[in-house]
Structure 1
Amino acid sequence: MATSAVVDDYLKSIYHHTEWQDERITPSQLATELGLAPSSVTEMVQKLATQGLVSHRRYGPISLTIEGQQRAAAIVRRHRLIETWLVREYGYTWDEVHDEAEVLEHALSDRLLARIDERLGHPRFDPHGDAIPAADGSTERVPFVRLRDAAPGHAGRILRVDDRDPDLLRDLDQLGVDVGREVRVVDGATLRLDEHSVTLPPGTADAVWLTA
């Protein structure tokens, strides 16, 4: 189980890197993402390549093979369904679910996961706006712009908020900045919500995606 969980964590990180941008992840970026020594990551990537899960040339970026993509999508589906389940059924807030899902994604049976999916009405997105892959691995992706790149005056709906910083999620929740909210960009540090403007916490411009 430990070995399987480690492989899943690598594949999930590689998968996640290209969901909201097109540049493939490098070994050094993957090491930073996982909090591991570059030498350890290099060794593991070589093992994943031998297993046919990733494609990688020395010093080059890493990409998932078809088999790796399917396995990554399956574990991402588990993680995001569990996050959605915890929020809807157990009253968790969106800043609390990531770590819980990290544990549960390796523990739930396929049968229970299917029951959860059915009970939730087959949701397409998790509480942070990330797409939940379908059982066949397919996902939806609509045109988007990162807040830091949005021009002043841009109007759109919040598609996604990065879930890596629980403190930022809590701050944004208090301001009413959440997935699905219609907003207008004043600048990288200010959004217009309905009839009032809110000053955003540091780091928000890098953590929020809007409809293009």
Structure 2
Amino acid sequence: MPATSPAIEDYLKTVYAHTEWQPDPITPKVLADKLGVAPSSVTEMVKKMAANGLISHVPYGPLRLTDAGRARALAVVRRHRLIETWLVAEMGYEWHEVHDEAEVLEHSLSDRLLEAIDARLGRPTRDPHGDAIPSASGEVASEPFLLLSEAVTGHAARVIRISDRDPDVLRSLADCGIVPGIEVRVTDAAGDRVTLQAAGEVAELAHEVAAAIWVTA
């Protein structure tokens, strides 16, 4: 199986994304759950990826990208996030609609078209959900962050990123005006809800929704 196959790209992207916003490496079981495949399929694929020098793995241990695997993962992530940004900016998509489209297109766009999209969009550094878009050379912008669900009362911050896992959450947050880049201040972090001020409005978020929002530390 060539190192550039769509299947390998999906694996690499998932391994990379797992540790992008938290420090724990991914295990084969978690990888199988995220990809919706059988553990035996992950075992076979990991062997192929290790043989291609893309991943390091010891039996029953976590998975880690090699330098070559990380470079390839960043290239796929760059494609995915540029496509999402393009779909929202120029194709009329809402931010909760782009993930599945990008999953398909990321494997088929030529490098020439991707470069043209990047240039037309003005070389964006973050996608509609706030995830960093790696540069063509593999550089990734980052800054200290914490989950909104972990912020204390009085914490003032800028929203960095919102998970795209649940389209309903994205829609409800957009209705509240809570999007990447907006300034917020936590007014009450007690109990199972987080109350905050955003753009002059008061919003009450369930704890699980606040746990899908990353803000500056």
TM over 0.5: yes
Give the secondary-structure state (helix, strand or coil) at the position aligned to 1:203: helix
Secondary structure at the counterpart of residue 103 of structure 1? helix
CA distance in structure 2 between the partners assigned to 1:195 and 1:106 by the alignment: 42
Written as runs of structure 1 = structure 2, the 5 A alignment for 1:59-74 is: 59-74=60-75
Q: 2:202 aligns with which of 185, 194, 197?
A: 197
Find the aligned partners of 1:26 and 1:117 in 2 and give their Cα distance: 33
Shift of 1:45: 1.1
Question: CA offsets per residue over residues 20-63 of structure 1, 9 Å max, x none?
Answer: 11111111111111111222112211211111100111111101
SS in structure 1 opposite 2:211?
helix
The corresponding residue for 2:165 is: 164
The gaps in structure 1 that reach 5 residues or longer are: none
Distance 1:77 1:84 in 2: 11
Give the distance between the partners of 1:202 and 1:5, measured in 2 at CA. Answer: 36
- TM norm structure 2: 0.93
Tell me how far 1:195 sits from its aligned partner: 3.4
Residue of structure 2 in register with 1:129 after alignment: 130
How many equivalent pairs are there? 212
Q: Which runs of 5+ in 2 are unaligned?
A: none
Q: Does 1:4 align with 2:17?
A: no
Q: Distance in 1 between matches of 2:174 and 2:206?
A: 11
Task: Report how far residue 202 of structure 1 moved.
Answer: 5.9
Question: Is 1:37 equivalent to 2:35 in the alignment?
Answer: no
RMSD of aligned alpha carbons: 1.6
| Deviation at residue 196 of structure 1 after TM alignment | 3.0
Number of the residue aligned with 2:16: 15
1:25 is paired with a residue whose SS is coil
Q: What TM-score do you get using the length of structure 1 for normalisation?
A: 0.95
The aligned amino acid for 1:74 is A
Q: 1:209 aligns with which of 193, 209, 214?
A: 214
Hey, what's the Cα distance between the residues in 1 that align with 2:64 and 2:88?
32
